[in-house]
Structure 1
């Protein structure tokens, strides 16, 4: 991973913009859309966007300012992604400055897939936090219930129109089926692109991931960040609460 993706809250905060022309105007519109206070080079600020001025980049860096230099990824401390906006849901696509055209193409594809009501679903889930805690007091049980509801085909499937309006009924209805226990996944290769849809979904939901020592880091990176990862020669004899996975290579010895 060449960069750490972050979302900066810029409302009311100064951001330096250096440069003129259409590119600078586009960056100004983006910053103002995010609520930033656009200021000049001499103003105090933590970040800056510079259009066609390498000397300004050097001056700002000397002050400790993090700089984005438009169309100069080699001079950038941070890059600006292509954005899909379903407020408050934001999807950012970055290539580390390798190809803005590729990022744009991916954004257009994703735009076509994500329904306009996705933001309403996020707000509905935010408004239901207290009710969810009351319904599922245990954090792990609550997470599993939410995962099941948001899964493909689930009542709150985020790619389905009308999911936001289904939140109240979901909370009032019976418990959704939630995967628990130990599940074995036989991997075809070290390439995460070879994961089946089911395997990718289970990796994103599992609480613990036991794995054959030879399983690649690229595969393990597909698991939840907070899921435990345990290297072992054999699967656990029993599983505890939640969803546990045993990952083994298809060429592993029995």
Structure 2
């Protein structure tokens, strides 16, 4: 199984107090970040401890002061971020691409904030501003979709069909958000079903085709035939059922438990070059 350096989380802090210590140029961006997320900045450690604050940003210019404050805050039960000191951090802050309410967070686990920033700047040019409108439209359409597709797996496959590249709601189409109401009231797309085989000849996920990446992201069941590299499996849905392929008659179980709704099963066959 492939591993990740840290667990990405989106922490809601609206109306909550957050400790920010420091007066230099490194502290001010943290104050702005907290306020932008709806948090209330507290700048006194003793007060933060007394009032049960849970998050702390420490940005003193003096390295020793940072270490002492981090120990005290952590002992009080806070999760701590020390600016430019990843070895003292319980969490790091990513570079954020904002298409409210859609957020793309790019992190390197403290290895290089500059790299994260420049990846974000590239994505800023690629991802349309209308993504936020699309997210809001899908949120509004949720009750309609739940009525049309009471089963969660069916609903997810319908949304996948609409949002895939070239689909009715292709996220890169600037007018996709305007199509959501009619799409939700209509057929809501025809989700792909049945079994599809992917033959892999390379362990490098960069060698996957766009279609293969899409199928891995939409599969309800993965049938693993051979020593499929974990880097490839990491591209699949985390909640997809995974089974070892046991013969040509295996078609994969219905993810919903109903035989008339087979969903999408992907057989992954690894054939490394000899």
Q: TM-score, normalised by structure 2?
A: 0.88
Structure 2 gaps, min length 5:
61-65, 255-261
The alignment status of 1:6 with 2:19, answered yes or no, reads: no
Q: Which residue of 2 aligns with 1:206?
A: 219
SS in 1 for 2:26: helix
RMSD of aligned residue pairs (Cα, Å): 1.6
- The question of 1:243 aligning with 2:264 is answered yes
Q: Of 45, 53, 77, which aligns to 1:41?
A: 45
Match of 1:177 among 183, 186, 190: 190
- Structure 1 runs, 4 residues or longer, greater than 6 Å off: none
85-94 or 129-138: which moved more? 129-138
Contact 1:235 1:246 in 2 (8 A): no
Structure 1 position 157 matched with structure 2 position 170: yes
What residue in structure 1 maps to residue 58 of structure 2? Answer: 50
Q: Deviations over 1:170-226 (max 9, x none)?
A: 123345232111100011222211211111100000000001240122211111111
CA distance in 1, matches of 2:190, 2:128: 25
Alpha carbons of structure 1 residues 236 and 210: separation in structure 2 relative to 1, 3 Å: farther
| 1:231 to 2:226 alignment | no
Counterpart of 1:28 in structure 2 is 31
Q: Does 1:120 align with 2:133?
A: yes
2:21 aligned with 1:18: yes
**1:235 shift after superposition:** 4.9
Q: How far 1:252 sits from its partner (Å)?
A: 8.8
Structure 1 residues not aligned, in runs of 5+: none
Partner SS, residue 80 of structure 2: strand
Inter-partner Cα distance in structure 2 for 1:18 and 1:172 = 51
| TM-score, reference length from structure 1 | 0.95
More displaced 10-residue stretch of structure 1: 88-97 or 227-236: 227-236
